[in-house]
Amino acid sequence: MRYPPGSGDSLGFQFGIGTQGILSFEEVGVRLPMIGKSFFIEVKARLLSSLTWATFINMQTGDAVSFHPDVVGGIISFGGVSPMLHGVLRMYGQSDIFLGYSFTPWDSALYGVGNLIGDNLTYAFWGCFGLELFTSKSLSVYLDAGGGFKSLHGDTTNTYAMASSWLGSGFGIKMGMRFYL
- pLDDT per residue as tens digits for the range 97-153: 999 999 999 888 888 899 999 999 999 999 999 999 999 989 999 999 999 999 999
Residue 180's region, left for phi above 0, alpha for psi from -120 to 50, else beta, is: beta
CA separation for the pair 8, 120 (Å, rounded)? 37
pLDDT surpassing 70 at residue 4:
no
Domain 12-180 sits in CATH at 2.40.160.20
Read off φ and ψ for residue 68, nearest 5 degrees.
-125, 90
pLDDT at 37: 84
pLDDT surpassing 70 at residue 6:
no
Tens digits of residue pLDDT in 28-63: 999 999 998 899 999 999 999 997 888 888 888 888
